[in-house]
């Protein structure tokens, strides 16, 4: 987990817990009168976008509590209380709270992935619930208050399952983790008077933070576990790459890979691994694993070497003046491993007019369906 991410979550975790702890009591104390309220805005139920690039759905007991836990996190645009996972269209609070529809009380979180990641939302979720309770959450009992993560695509499913395994292996809980990971269904926003409830009844939820035992539960459960992270150990591990010794490189690389990357060699045209590869995915440095080029920018140059119009990110590669072989050319090298990759020419197609002519021996190809598993999940959305 990055320092920025850890500081950000730590900053808001205490606030979110304090807010969240007061809301279940409100449901218990005021549920009857609220269920009889009429004339409030009733937000219509709309199907959630299955792309899921900027949306996430969590069920963690009383939706007021989970809404509060997420909405104060920097990068979260909004958190909407609602219902999902049931069999009745457009359910009402009366129906759901009575346990007659099969729905969970849940929250739809819309977030800016440039400021907060889905993995960070998962970590906040696990720290805002009791994942070992199969009968509800704190004062709120019944299946409608059970915990679940509703994934909107395969990437979210994989990340949710990975975070659950990390939680199980963390040693924080002695009892089994019973939170379900389920495919997303239609999300129905709850009635208007349920939205932003934690902002409307400040005194009540502060009182409940002590009376319910919810706050004490979180403090006691996570005490001594400040160093536990459910995120991958590093977002971009290649940025910390330390180049191995010559002996180690000779052991791990093939003779051709060593010749190209370490001795500025050139492989044969039309007799290399990727010149005719048309599969979707990214190309990474064979030494460091740093991302270099995308199949989306690859084109057939007719030269017999893999050719790209641009690197995967503007600063992914380094260019240098090359005067070898009695020519003046622009050499291309990787930023972190300093591997020789190939050369850059100004005879490429639009939109850049450039041709990065790269040796296959300097690359390793990661297909689209392996991006998440191999730590390149941030690029997966490019291919959707």
Q: Which residues are catalytic?
A: 62, 357
Tokens 């759901």 found at: 96
- Taking the C-alpha atoms of residue 2 and residue 42, their distance in angstroms, rounded to an integer, is 41
The CA-atom distances, in angstroms, between 98 and each of 40, 95, 143, 146, 155 are 20, 5, 10, 14, 34
Tokens 């409307």 found at: 200
The two beta strands, 340-345 and 188-189, are: unpaired
**DSSP reduced 3-state for 29:** helix
Beta-bridge partner residues of 322: 329
How long is the chain?
A: 384
Side by side, the strands of the sheet bearing 355-358 are: 298-299, 307-308, 355-358, 340-345, 329-334, 317-322
**320: Cα separation from own chain's centroid:** 35
Query: For residue 211, what are the contacts with CB-CB under 8 A and spacing of at least 6?
Result: 25
Taking only Cα atoms into account, the Rg of the chain, rounded to an integer number of angstroms, comes to 26
Percent helix, strand and coil across the chain, each to the nearest 5: 35, 20, 40
| Contact between residue 181 and residue 161 where contact means Cβ atoms under 8 Å apart | yes
Burial of 235 (0-12, 13-18, 19+ CB in 10 A): middle
- Taking the C-alpha atoms of residue 313 and residue 356, their distance in angstroms, rounded to an integer, is 13
- Taking the C-alpha atoms of residue 249 and residue 288, their distance in angstroms, rounded to an integer, is 11
- Taking the C-alpha atoms of residue 299 and residue 354, their distance in angstroms, rounded to an integer, is 11
Burial of 319 (0-12, 13-18, 19+ CB in 10 A): middle
Largest CA distance in the chain: 87
Tokens 């792309």 found at: 51
């Amino acid at each position: 987990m990055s320092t920025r991410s850890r500081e950000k979550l730590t900053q808001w975790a205490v606030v979110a817990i304090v807010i969240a702890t007061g809301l279940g009591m409100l449901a218990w104390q005021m549920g009857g009168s609220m269920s009889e309220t009429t004339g409030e805005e009733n937000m219509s139920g709309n199907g959630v976008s299955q792309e899921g690039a900027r949306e996430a759905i969590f069920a963690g007991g009383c939706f007021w509590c989970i809404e509060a836990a997420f909405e104060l996190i920097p990068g979260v645009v909004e958190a909407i209380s609602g219902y999902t996972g049931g069999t009745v269209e457009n359910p009402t609070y009366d129906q759901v709270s009575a346990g007659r529809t099969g729905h969970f009380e849940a929250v739809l979180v819309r977030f800016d992935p440039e400021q907060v990641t889905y993995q960070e939302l998962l970590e906040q979720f696990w720290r805002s619930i009791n994942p070992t309770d199969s009968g509800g959450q704190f004062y709120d009992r019944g299946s409608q208050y059970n915990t679940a993560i509703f994934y909107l695509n395969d990437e979210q499913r994989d990340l949710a399952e990975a975070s659950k395994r990390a939680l199980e292996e963390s040693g924080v809980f002695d009892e089994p983790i019973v939170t379900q990971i389920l495919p997303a269904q239609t999300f129905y926003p709850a009635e208007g008077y349920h939205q932003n409830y934690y902002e409307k009844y400040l005194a009540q939820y502060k009182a409940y933070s002590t009376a319910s035992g919810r706050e004490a539960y979180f403090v006691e459960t996570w005490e001594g576990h400040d160093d536990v992270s459910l995120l991958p150990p590093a977002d971009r591990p290649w940025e910390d790459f330390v180049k191995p010794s010559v002996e180690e490189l000779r052991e791990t690389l093939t003779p051709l890979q060593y010749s190209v990357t370490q001795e500025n060699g050139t492989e044969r045209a039309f007799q290399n691994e990727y010149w005719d590869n048309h599969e979707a995915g990214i190309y990474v440095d064979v030494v460091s694993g740093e991302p270099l080029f995308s199949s989306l920018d690859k084109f057939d140059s007719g030269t017999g070497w893999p050719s790209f119009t641009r690197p995967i990110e503007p600063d992914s590669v380094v260019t240098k003046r090359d005067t070898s072989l009695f020519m003046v050319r622009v050499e291309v090298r990787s930023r972190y491993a300093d591997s020789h990759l190939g050369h850059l020419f100004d005879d490429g197609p639009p939109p850049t007019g450039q041709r990065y002519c790269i040796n296959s021996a300097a690359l390793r190809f990661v297909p689209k369906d392996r991006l998440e598993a191999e730590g390149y999940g941030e690029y997966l959305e490019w291919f959707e």
